[in-house]
Amino acid sequence: MEELTPRQEEVLDHILRTLERRGYPPSVREICDALDLSSTRGALRHLEALERKGFISRAPGARAIQVRDAFRGAASYLPLVGEVPAGPLRYASGEVEEWLPVPARWGGEGRFLLRVRGDSMIGDGIHEGDLVVVDPRAAVEEGDVVVAMVDEEATVKRLRRRGKAVELRASNPAYPPLRLKGGETEVRLSGKVVALLRDRV
Amino acid sequence: MEELTPRQEEVLDHILRTLERRGYPPSVREICDALDLSSTRGALRHLEALERKGFISRAPGARAIQVRDAFRGAASYLPLVGEVPAGPLRYASGEVEEWLPVPARWGGEGRFLLRVRGDSMIGDGIHEGDLVVVDPRAAVEEGDVVVAMVDEEATVKRLRRRGKAVELRASNPAYPPLRLKGGETEVRLSGKVVALLRDRV
DNA sequence: TTTACTACTAAACAAATGTTTACTATAATG
DNA sequence: CATTATAGTAAACATTTGTTTAGTAGTAAA
């Protein structure tokens, strides 16, 4: 990607900071204020340069500045839930503690974040307190790490096929495996673990 | 937080989806198009309701819709680097592979993401391919997981004090500890590991 | 029933915002 | 030297966009 001049970098910087601070891009006149320009033409020129060099793209309309993905990062937002949701999540739901940004490719319909309790999956590097991204719609297969309801509580386990039945195994040998009969899997498996966030290392 | 009516929820949904898709909020008329309203007054009413209930806030100006933090998530963006950066990162830097969104509290001046190589920290649940958030300015202390330069390559290790010297220990017993003498620490320690992302579990 | 709230339409209006034209200046480049 | 790119100012312009006024209609609560 082409290099930016110092002034152009200031403009891009201001756009990024504005986006981060309040969630929508600045107007041309706001850029002028920030860079001490007295004419909108100046800022407009910089925007044109940024667009030509591929850092932003613009659409007709007010504040229609789109920062290229490589810089904006294209986040998705997933709800961190206290319990595994039964139905589709609604916004003002009391079950949602927080909405956290994650890389866009982790996003998807129905996905949510769940805080891991216990050390049963420590052998797979999944620790107490980690947040796992759960996809309730993904097909679960042999060897996948899944979220299962055991004794009314959500636990993370690894799925193993044992003939017709399936087995949920912890990766900590201190925990015994759990067998599920044929019909039980749909009831008890609430999703596949697809990614992980750890806050304090 | 107050409940939303179904129609208000549709409006909020459209705002969130627009923000995710193109990075800036819709105009009132765009909301009208999306919800099949023929008068801007209708959409405006919904916006007023959303603001009154605390889901968004609005500023004077075009598209000046700010979605409340709980929903917007307030992301920070960190660069995923191929090598540990020597100086401050610049935008068009060739060393930056990608900018990824992370929860806001993980952000901070100078922080970056580094991909973990090898299995030397597997005992702490840090696997090959994981992305760690590195803070080059944090004070490193006994017991911290740090990024150290060993043989010109960045490796993740845990820091232990051994009298005046310090020791870098892997959490995989297959790897021997590495001793650093007094002055070496500043040269070789490039930051503290503060968080972790794992893509495929 | 009255009141309040949600939901919507139509048309006019005012403010904010992007765009264009015209012109000056500096530095780097061939 | 002429050319090109960057950087800036000033003023007028066109459009987008938010806002207001004036209505209608359905539903639930007091």
Task: Report how many Cβ contacts below 8 Å link chain A to chain B.
Answer: 156
Beta strands B75-81 and B112-115 are parallel
To the nearest whole angstrom, how far is the Cα of A14 from the nearest Cα of chain B?
13
Contact flag, residue B68 CB and nucleic strand C, below 7 A: no
Q: Does B7 touch chain A (CB under 8 A)?
A: no
Alpha helices in B155-195 (DSSP H): 184-188
**Residue closest to D17 C1′ by Cα:** B62
Report chain A's mean pLDDT, rounded to a whole number.
86
Radius of gyration of chain B (CA): 24
Does residue A185 carry a pLDDT above 60? yes
Q: Does B132 touch chain A (CB under 8 A)?
A: yes
| Selected residue with higher pLDDT from B3 and A173 | A173
To the nearest whole angstrom, how far is the Cα of B17 from the nearest Cα of chain A?
10
Asked if A113 contacts A100 with a C-beta cutoff of 8 angstroms, the reply is yes
Q: Which residues on chain A are in Cβ contact (under 8 Å) with B2?
A: 92
Q: Which residues on chain B are in Cβ contact (under 8 Å) with A27?
A: 61-62
**Residue closest to C17 C1′ by Cα:** A62
B190 is a catalytic site residue: no
Region B183-192: what's the mean pLDDT?
76
A55-69, A172-186, B106-120, B130-144: the lowest-pLDDT one:
A172-186
Does residue A156 carry a pLDDT above 70? yes
The pLDDT assigned to A91 comes to: 53
Report chain B's mean pLDDT, rounded to a whole number.
86
Q: Confidence class of residue B72 from pLDDT cuts 50, 70 and 90?
A: low
Asked if A43 contacts A31 with a C-beta cutoff of 8 angstroms, the reply is yes
Q: Which residues on chain B are in Cβ contact (under 8 Å) with A132?
A: 201
- Express each pLDDT in A55-110 by its tens digit: 899 999 999 999 886 565 567 888 888 767 766 555 545 566 688 889 989 988 88
Chain-chain contact of B9 with A72 (C-beta, under 8 angstroms): no
Residues making up chain B, counted from first to last: 201
Does residue B139 carry a pLDDT above 70? yes
Distance CA B170, CA B166 (A): 13
Distance CA A69, CA A74 (A): 6
The pLDDT assigned to A171 comes to: 94
Residues making up chain A, counted from first to last: 201
The pLDDT assigned to B89 comes to: 60
Angle of helix A6-22 versus helix A40-52 axis, rounded to 10: 90
The pLDDT assigned to A1 comes to: 61
Contact flag, residue B66 CB and nucleic strand D, below 7 A: no
Distance CA A168, CA A166 (A): 7
Question: Which residues in chain A (60-99) have CB-CB distances under 8 A to chain B?
Answer: 61-67, 70-77, 90-92, 98-99
Q: Confidence class of residue B17 from pLDDT cuts 50, 70 and 90?
A: confident
Chain-chain contact of A1 with B102 (C-beta, under 8 angstroms): no
The pLDDT assigned to A71 comes to: 62
